[in-house]
Amino acid sequence: MASADPTPRSDPVPGETNDTSNPGIGDIEIMTDRYTNSEWAAHIAETQQKIVVKKEKYWAPGIGSKEFAETIDHTLLKLDATPSQIDTLCSEARTEGFKSVCVRLNYISRCVSNLKGSSVVVACVVGFHEGTQDTYSKLREARAAVAAGASELDIVLNHTILTQTSTSTPKTSNHKANPSNTTTESMTASNAAANSKSRNGASTPAEGTYSLPGSSSRLNESNHKEDIPNYSAIYTELATLRSLCPSPTTLKLILETSQLSPPKILAAAHLAAAANFDFIKTSTGFNGRGATLEDIQLMVSAAEFFSTKTKNNDGSPVRPRKMQVKASGGIRSLPDAVKMLEAGATRLGTSSGLWIMQESRRVLGEKEGGNRRDGPTRLYTDDSVGGY
Ligand SMILES: O=C[C@H](O)COP(=O)(O)O
């Protein structure tokens, strides 16, 4: 569930010792919230009203180029991934010049050692894939990943908090994180419902409809106190993770967009920007559908909004540097990759990176009048390969 015990702790991760090569989280306090929950709701409602979704075509690196390869996080997150598959993943990433390999915590050290001397960095998922782990568990995982050499963390948002509302009055400012106004039981029930829904392949947002500003739809979902999700809980978790893992560690927040309505996606983007995350990312690839063009357009529009000075925010953007957008989940082909980049994503999380690069070379070869073909590819999470 979402809540975190507010008491500072220094207990090690289970199975860990006090050895600094394998640290617990040390003494850390959950960050104090910067607004009351009602204030968050008001800010977020304003965001939801003001963001206009742009459908621009952005510049994207040429297919097959070094810059194109550098948009790819070469990903292997299956629980049964073997050491030998991980070694192959690293060697492919090195050869293709991908930005990173993205793996689970247990393989971080192995990847770091495999990739020594290359420009490929190592990314670790945190709170994967449900996102509902308590804050301390995410903090331990994040800290352990950084200690093992990860330079990027892909952290799953506790997205069930966004779809969980409270009938009680939100807590006021300066409370330490004790995020949930709901009971463990109700949160658990909600998680179970969300999970069973996704297993059944439902891909529609759980609630709410989205439309452009000026409409009379339910765009502003936060007008009523009863409907306010516990934004404070989410912000304090994100801000604490950021404080424990400062820059240059790159932090990406996985929203799991298949589980969120567009207004909830905007709320999550707002909180990520406020906590100074570097990226918002669409999907885990393990829950519901993957990235869609609409998700990316919405998230890119939001990321731009939060870095823009406007009259309405008194010239003070939520986040001065532009938060970037990572498209992930279900990106299986070269056209998928190009579509996401041209919609403004700057990073792609995919287990089909090798296939995408091979397709790039084939298309380039054909354009040049050649007839070049590379060997077969091997996918990690899906055998149904879409063709170009
Ligand atoms: O973060 C990345 C995803 O887990 C990759 O998903 P995919 O296996 O559908 O490419």
Q: What is the pLDDT of residues 354-388, one digit of tens each?
A: 999 999 999 998 877 655 445 444 444 444 444 33
- Quick check: helix, strand or coil at residue 97? coil
Using CA positions, which residue lies closest to atom 7 of ligand 1? 329
Residue pLDDT, tens place only, 307-340: 876 655 556 677 767 899 999 999 999 999 999 9
pLDDT at 218 over 90: no
Q: In whole angstroms, how far apart are CA 286 and each of 201, 207, 208, 266, 350? A: 11, 21, 23, 22, 12
The CA-CA-CA angle for residues 329, 43, 264, to 5°, reads 25
d(CA 366, ligand 1 centre) in Å: 28
d(CA 310, ligand 1 centre) in Å: 36
285 lines ligand 1 (CB under 6 A): yes
Quote the CA–CA distance of 135 and 140 in Å, as a whole number.
9
186 lines ligand 1 (CB under 6 A): no
Quote the CA–CA distance of 379 and 49 in Å, as a whole number.
41
Residue 154 bears catalytic tag: yes
The pLDDT assigned to 18 comes to: 37
205 lines ligand 1 (CB under 6 A): no
The CATH class of 37-367 is: alpha beta
Residue pLDDT, tens place only, 76-122: 999 999 999 999 999 999 999 999 999 999 999 999 999 999 999 99
Element (H, E) at 161: helix 159-163
Residue 281 bears catalytic tag: yes
Residue 326 bears catalytic tag: yes
The pLDDT assigned to 191 comes to: 33
330 lines ligand 1 (CB under 6 A): yes
Q: Which of 252, 281, 295, 339 is catalytic?
A: 281
d(CA 311, ligand 1 centre) in Å: 39
Q: What is the pTM of this model?
A: 0.77
Q: If you average pLDDT over residues 220-233, what whole number do you get?
A: 68
Q: Which amino acid does the sequence have at 349?
A: G
Spatial contact of 122 and 115, defined as CB atoms under 8 Å apart:
yes
Q: Tell me which DSSP letter residue 4 carries.
A: -
Using CA positions, which residue lies closest to atom 8 of ligand 1? 351
Is the ipTM of this structure higher than 0.90? Answer: yes
329 lines ligand 1 (CB under 6 A): yes
**Ligand 1 atom at minimum distance from 351 CA:** 10
DSSP conformation letters of 26-53: -SBPPPPPSS-HHHHHHHHHHHHHHPPP
Spatial contact of 146 and 153, defined as CB atoms under 8 Å apart:
yes
Residue pLDDT, tens place only, 154-173: 999 999 999 987 644 433 33
The pLDDT assigned to 139 comes to: 97
The pLDDT assigned to 28 comes to: 67
